[in-house]
Chain A
């Protein structure tokens, strides 16, 4: 009798060992499949049909929705605006974040205070940031024009002028994210062995030379990571253009769509014009654009400051691990 109970327990135990891992990962895969992957795939199905927000699905139309979107000048306008705002935010942000990280990477007094001060804008949500900066960039008497007047520059049409509106929106993004990215880069800089700097200094390299020849190559994986997350986020910008200058354009990105981004156009197409078919096509095209941008960025950043091929794979692994700390 004792032997049968033992085997039953053993059998249960073996079942426990075999089944448990699947039970632990199952909730993630089931939920992610349902609310993450399925909608993305089904977007493609919707994009192949006539589909009105109110009337529901209509005829299958093949790739007509894609053809319509690709010949729609508002779509290309939104792509141009998105890319313009993306560059105006990503490039200055990265440069300033690098400098800021280098400044923070010293023996500072009140280290935590300075780090917190850099991160402060991150706790202001994009909606609140946009409300604040919409007021700052108010054309009649906002803070931005007041300050420009002070140094003798005439009022800028922040909301009506295309480039100025892109700069205003990029400023919102930069204000919120620069400090955050600086902290990621700072973490990478602190992992650079100090003796590398010392030997470079002994070789006569000045501070600037050390920064470009030692720091930048050493933190490359983190740079790649920061650039790629900035790309994925930057190309999906919505709250800022949606809420900038609502009174003049009903929140679709300016009276002449001068700062309408692609996600904003997608939103307008789906919920103002009620055309789910074309909206789904826009979603897929934007998806492809994001993937393409990610790959291009990856290729470019890999080229920058190559030199230590041997540690490559370890670097990539580290970059992924850094990603873990970064979000």
Chain B
């Protein structure tokens, strides 16, 4: 097992890397090329039309508004999910109260429930409130997640020693002060990971924003989908749009890729 991996390993990994990266690169090459580029079997070299096509994308869809909307929605949802998950997760992990275990079982049971299937009543309620068409209609349904609570509880149960809470209490700190000065600093790494994944999930969401937002007030995902709504599809513009919409997450990936990987792999270390 301790043998150094050889040619076969790196060959497989390289093949997988090409499979992962080439569709993206191909989109950029075709998006920056001419109509002839797409006919080529394996185009590799980008052309000079990316900016021209990008301007066409900006004409076709409200790209900047959509980008702003996505940032607002994902930002607010992330702050909310992380805040409420940390509060509840801390209570479940470290405080004693009647009904705690029963409520925790409830949280775990709801983890696997596909809440997406509640869209019809959600739509009825949003319309009655007059919220359809506004960002509020997209934000409110995802303000908390059962998964977030579960995740924070699992993290905090081991990471904060009970003695630390006792000590802070003895020093005269009230419960909320203990939460702010003991729990939050300890929870920070888990909060970052939960925040990252919540942001990604909200950013990616498509079905619900498509239902409640009009074409002139979209998120990035619903705006992007408008690019191929016409009968004639100009693929170089569609692909340019796909690349443009991917750039923000690509930047996030380059900056926080290590944390993403750590987050995906984190669960296995504990437990």
Contact = CB atoms under 8 A, between A and B. Distances in A.
B261 A119 contact: yes
B257 A236 contact: no
Interface stretch (A84-92, A160-168, A276-284, A304-312): A276-284
B145 to A, nearest CB: 8
Contacts of B151: 324, 327
B114 A114 contact: no
The B contact surface, by secondary structure, is helix
B238 interface: yes
Interface in B200-250: 200-201, 203-204, 206-207, 210-211, 220-221, 224-225, 227-233, 235, 238-239, 241-242, 245-246, 249-250
B265 A325 contact: yes
B249 A279 contact: no
Contacts of B265: 183-184, 186-187, 190, 325
A279 B119 CA distance: 10
A271 interface: yes
The A contact surface, by secondary structure, is helix
A1 to B, nearest CB: 20
Contact of B207 (A201, A247, A263, A322): A263
Contact of B249 (A18, A46, A124): A124
A131 B228 contact: yes
B120 A270 contact: yes
Interface residues on chain B, size class: 35 or more
B64 interface: no
A39 B121 contact: yes
Contacts of A22: 97
B247 to A, nearest CB: 10
A247 B40 CA distance: 23
B4 A107 contact: yes
Contact of B118 (A13, A36, A143, A239): A36
Interface string A76-116: 00000000000000000000000010011011100010111
Q: Closest 7 interchain pairs by CB?
A: A325-B267, A39-B118, A321-B271, A187-B268, A325-B266, A322-B267, A187-B265
Interface of A: 13, 16-18, 20-22, 24-25, 27-29, 31-32, 35-40, 42-43, 45-46, 100, 103-104, 106-108, 112, 114-128, 131-136, 138, 141-143, 146-147, 149-150, 175, 179-180, 183-184, 186-188, 190-191, 194, 197-198, 201, 222, 228, 232, 236, 238-239, 242-243, 246-247, 251, 263, 267, 270-271, 276, 279-280, 283-284, 286-287, 290, 294, 317-318, 320-327
Given A38-B118, A107-B4, A270-B120, 9 more contacts: A37-B110, A39-B119, A115-B261, A128-B246, A131-B224, A131-B227, A135-B235, A321-B267, A323-B267
